[in-house]
Amino acid sequence: MLIFIGLGLYDEKDISVKGLEAVRAADNVYAEFYTSRLMGTSVERMEAFYGRKIHLLDRSDVENDPVWLEEARDGDVAFLVGGDAMVSTTHLDLRLRAAKLGIRTRVIHSASIVTAVQGLCGLQNYRFGRSTTIPFPYTSRGKRIIPETPYQVLKENLNRNLHTMLFLDIQSDPLERYMTVNEGAALLLEMQANASEQILDGRLAIGIARAGSEDATVKADLLVRLKNFDFGGPLHIIVVPAKLHFMEALALVTLAGAPPNLAVEG
């Protein structure tokens, strides 16, 4: 059996009791940390707490050539991921691939950044539209390229009066790098300039850093001002709200330090 186990948000102790029991009982334990990271711990600390050796997988091991899946035919294989086990489409694809091979699967859920963000800033969960990721720019034929998809998704959600959660890119090759709220906000404004539009001018946004930790930072202000706010270490995420319910407006002022004149009921 292939057992997908969510590890929670921040450190090795965020795993559920059910998940920990499954890790300790598994024949082999694998993990991938390219879709997300537990920034408050290390593999060594996880191994010490779980009492098991963890075999790290890279993107190609999971998405291209998961030969290790064969071990789940006759034994129990634990597959560890940050956050909840099934938020990433990469993990759903792996589960479907295992099912096609006749391998039984099980999912042990844990805290997800999706619900944590909503709890930290006070926005209502049913008000969110499609989420998206802001990738780092890249160079092609000597030209700097900024993918426009995040901006288009944001526009579509705002047109439907829905909040938008924007995940920020994690880069591991050639160097490990985590996009900050500051970089993400600057890229969104650059996308807007490229489109010759103004929908983000005067737009309230929320930056969140280190969700799940004791020193999580939550700050709501104009998107242009978030470019200069010090959020501290990773991981970061951006939320751009649509029109606010009166309770959401109050929550952003109380929980995220939003200027009262900006956090107004829509």
Q: Which domains does the chain have, with CATH numbers?
A: 2-111 (3.40.1010.10), 114-256 (3.30.950.10)
pLDDT digits (tens, 9 = 90+) for 26-43: 999 999 999 999 999 999
For residue 129, the model assigns a pLDDT of 97
Element (H, E) at 256: helix 246-256
For residue 266, the model assigns a pLDDT of 73
Alpha carbon of residue 246 to chain centroid? 27
For residue 264, the model assigns a pLDDT of 87
pLDDT digits (tens, 9 = 90+) for 79-100: 999 999 998 899 999 999 999 9
263 has pLDDT over 90: no
Crossing angle between the packed helical segments 149-159 and 181-194, to the nearest 10 degrees: 80
d(CA 80, CA 99): 18
Mean model confidence pLDDT for the chain? 96
One-letter amino acid for residue 98 of the chain = A
Judge if the upstream peptide bond of residue 235 is cis by omega within 30 degrees of 0: yes
pLDDT digits (tens, 9 = 90+) for 167-179: 999 988 778 899 9
